[in-house]
Structure 1
Amino acid sequence: MDRLFIENGIKDLVVLAEDLHDNTKKMNVGARDMLMSAVSDMTKRSRAIRLITFGGDVSNLVNWLNASGSNSRVYTFKPDYDIRGSISQMDDNIVQKRKSAGGSFGGYFDFDWSKDVNASVLALDMSIISTQTMELLPGVTSRNSILVFKEGDAVGSALTGSISKQSFGLNLNFSFSANEGSAQAVRTLIELASIELFGKLTRVPYWSCLGIDPNHHLVKEEIGDWYYSLSQERKLIPYIQNQFRMRGVYSGPVDGSQNPEFQAVVPKARLALGLNEGNGIDEDLFSGLINLKTKNLGFPSEPVAHLTEVQYEEKKTTKAKKGKKSSAPVKSDEAKATKPLPQKVQISGKPVKPGADISLTVKSKENTFLYCYLNEPTHDSWLRIYPNRFAPDPWLDKNKSLQIPGDMKFEIKTGKKFEVEKVYCFNTIIDVTPNLPVSARGGDFEPLENYTLEKLRADFSTASAGAVAESSHQIMKQ
């Protein structure tokens, strides 16, 4: 799952995990702890999921944070999703089998053998709900059951006789039993449910983690359901745009508009997937992108930002007029001079009092992709504040100004008056998210591990092949 999250650009999912109760009252296991371990393992590198555990067992930590004031710089936000579920079924001895045999020889020797098999059914139901509306997300559920077997074998024998009219007897009994652990069965169900739930939530091919053939009829039905629901919710075009962008063949906005650049990519992608180029965005294209085992679609993307219809037509006309390229070699200095570089963005903000909320405005003279980090002086750490879970697309339109945080549901508090706090923004011509190291992406509002400004600069320069601009803004305090 970790690899799937990275390849599909999944990041900054904030999820609350509730207690997973045992409604059967027969299983005494730490179900929520098992869920925490499973989610942690599937997001080691991508950091795609931020799991919040809240319940009675964290009351001591909450009380300590409130009493010590250690949470004064914590970014206030609420999770988008909530996981809930329970051990919903435990049927004992639904299958019982017993085999036995015995014999006697002349009244002196007796033997018997028996074998018992019992099976119980254990079931787990889990689902994800939206914290905005408290409604169940359709299709984002997991219901699985498992058989727990108990087996036992027993062998016995008896020998009787007499010596010199003295009777004697000898009895031998052997038994062996093997029980499959019910607690381990619960862990297996929770790990399976975690893969299934987050795969359905993010719409990534989770069945590849379970060894299921993508041509299986249930997988095809799942993909068909995703295609239909995305179409009904008008999210199909943004989903395809994001898939194209993560594969490096599209550099426009993820906004659902069928702009000329996006329309030009669709037939090329269809041909790369072995489809005819004339059917547009159908279920075959959708299925092909989901089950594509590599991010490479087989054709390069042009390193230009999103073009308007007029710009796109002008570009095609200019390209047609050029004809054959000159055979004269181009000097390296000339190549560097003609390499397109983005313009720096403008960052502004009003002076604020220590402890107050920070508000920034970012503007650009051209369409660009923006990535902003806050330098927190207390620990000399770097935190990604844009893009984030509330605004996941780094696209910045030249005709619009970006407010941070604006309508995004988080707050950034300033530190003490003498602390120097700065915001650094990098902007590029193409979306460099797929090319950035996972360590540079990190989690939003989460300190990057062992990072410096120089390391950030180097990562963005490498990811953009040098086509990056940098802007900074010092937060002024009253």
Structure 2
Amino acid sequence: MCLLGLGLISGCAPLDPRRDTEYHEAAFTADRPTVRPVRSISSFSESLVCMDHMLRAANLPTTLITSKQFPDFSGKVPAAVKDMVITSLSQMSHVSNAFRFVDFEVDIARQDTVQNLSTILLNNNQMQLQRPALYVSGAIAFVDQNVLSNRLSAGTSASRLDTGYSNSKAATVVALEAHLGDFRTRTIIPGLDSANEVVIGGAGQGFDLAGRIGDYGVKFNIGRDYALGAGGAVRTLVDLAMIELVGKWARVPYWQCLMLDQTNPNFQRQMRDWYAESGPAGQFALVKASLISRGYLPAGSEVMPINEPAMRYALSRFQSDRGVVVSGVVDFPTYDAALRNFVALNESGALSRIGWASNGPMQITGPEGQRVAGLTGGTPAPWLIDMQIENPQPAGERQPFTEGEQIFLSARVNRTSHLYCYFIDSRGQTMRILPNALQPNSLVSANLAVRIPDWMGPNPGFILDAGRPGVETVICLATAQAADPLLPPELQGRALTALIGVNGAEGLQQRYAAAMGSAGYVTQLVQWNVVPRPAPAPTEAAPATK
């Protein structure tokens, strides 16, 4: 027999799982996250981008680097610090190609597929590892818990009612030490070090109420707590340490990148408050105005609704360019990225809005007809191509190339565009080098350095060698829409083959202007001189013998 409540039920049968089918089917939905994923950022994410451009301007050659594991002897911060180091170095190399990380790690206790294959290939002389020039070492130096702690509790007691209140605060200090070493000698380079600390805290409040109603007792407990995460704090320390180490090593004014307003720890919190205050209509209107000012939307798009395909396409392009998870909707990461340049520190050190209307905000109509505050109108940033010769050169004027010498270039567009590049030899013969059979996509993201040829890829598609003596040219043209179907037949030939009837950069520009309009494209070119290969030194004739 089975006992249920106050009654007896005889012959109890087992539970039938089929009766719970509808309940179980809800697990598929409950198993999905309810919040969109976001990129991991720290207070210095914008500083890493600043360092990337600074290293590009310094024309540093690509350097191989690796890292040791960062131990945490306190056992209080379970964070993958080495992987954070790799991410920081990668973010400082998007445009500059300053660093390539060499994965030398061998973990005997936890062998994986890559390690097993590497061991097999190395033992059979089928794989060659390049020796890095630098390595990063360091550790979580210490974690001082509850350096500051404050607790307060109070209560009252009566015959039929008891109350209680509690309040607590605590602060913990986490420190990270990092150094840069010479891999060849395994020596730490003096002066290339970083030692920084960050404070993480937590607080809680509670209220208790207990009493009696007749012969029955009742009790209520209400509390709220918060705790700043150690993982995000460590990422901030790692980003700061890598900016310091790389800046000192490259001898560039890295402190300029650390003075960005966005490194203020209150920045994200203030932006979150403004995001909540503006509401969906205000959020969309502000982001839309920013997209117009940045050139992602044409002028006159102020009344375009959010469900318009062109609006979602512009949002997606902007999110891709800014490293935000592409969703095509206005979420907080998109709002934050769109308005970063409209926030600064005022004279008192508080965050204030800049670039917004000073004598009353400009009114923009939201998607539901409301009038919401918007950004002031502004001139869109100019559409530009930045082309560079990436061959390492000594300081001073660039030296000419010798016949047969390999040439490396890069091109970067400050807006998402379709990119077409052509090579013009010293006789004026022209051929398209991008896009080609191995790089068929012409669409490139904003501020992405396109390597010409792709010397870091397993198959670059072509090799660019200096040809006959004279002046050689590579010209790149960026268009807002795909130019292939609009170009004349003489430009429709296959890549890496001579174009008939097209000679020189001027001829290319004339045809693109006719197909795209004078405002539908931008262009940039680089030129270099090619000199003959020096003749071999004459060898002395052997003395005659009798």
- Greater relative CO, 1 or 2 (CA 8 Å, sep 6+): 1
Q: TM-score range by the shorter chain?
A: 0.3 to 0.5
